[in-house]
Amino acid sequence: MLGTEDIKAEKPWICVTCSRPFKRKYDMNRHEDTHLPKKCHCEMCDQAFTRMSRLKGHLEIRHSGKSKAKEMSRCKFCSEPRIRALGIHEAACEKRTPRERKQKERIHKTRLRRQDQRRVLQQTVSY
């Protein structure tokens, strides 16, 4: 088992906000952005991001109108569509109780329904 000194030697960069250790300064700097207010907001849904690159990726995946269905995989526990980090998502989802999974699925369906409503509203307003 590693002691505190071993972890500090292995991961010398520490986040000043949450004390999370990192091996590389670059990783720590990118992590520290997560503590900043989210300044990049999606105009089509409620989501906000700390980086413009994340917003661009979100827009491309969720709102582009291109068929990404072929590229998307679905979680085997909650059926949520995922393009990135499917394994990590499934590991977290597997630990949830069936009740928690059902609640998360309900939240996801509500979010999708709201996105569809906004899309229809925008189409009717733009014509």
pTM above 0.75, yes or no: no
Task: Answer yes or no: are the C-beta atoms of 112 and 104 closer than 8 Å.
Answer: no
Q: What is the pLDDT of residue 126?
A: 58
pLDDT tens for each residue of 53-100: 888 888 887 777 665 444 567 788 777 777 677 888 888 888 888 888
Residues 22 and 50 in one domain: no
Higher pLDDT, 116 or 66: 116
Residues 60 and 110 in one domain: yes
Torsion of CA 51, 52, 56, 59, to 10 degrees: 80
Taking CA atoms, 7 is separated from 25, 29, 30, 87, in Å, by 15, 19, 20, 26
Residues 74 and 55 in one domain: yes
CATH code assigned at 22: 3.30.160.60
Residues 62 and 101 in one domain: yes
Q: What is the pLDDT of residue 8?
A: 58
Residues 83 and 102 in one domain: yes
Domain extent at residue 28 = 4-35
Residue type, 36: L
Q: What is the pLDDT of residue 116?
A: 79
Residues 46 and 60 in one domain: yes
Higher pLDDT, 58 or 127: 58
Q: What is the pLDDT of residue 70?
A: 47
Question: How far is it, in rounded angstroms, from Cα 88 to Cα 80?
Answer: 13
Q: What is the pLDDT of residue 69?
A: 47
pLDDT tens for each residue of 4-49: 555 557 889 999 999 999 999 999 998 888 888 888 888 888 888 8
Residues 54 and 93 in one domain: yes
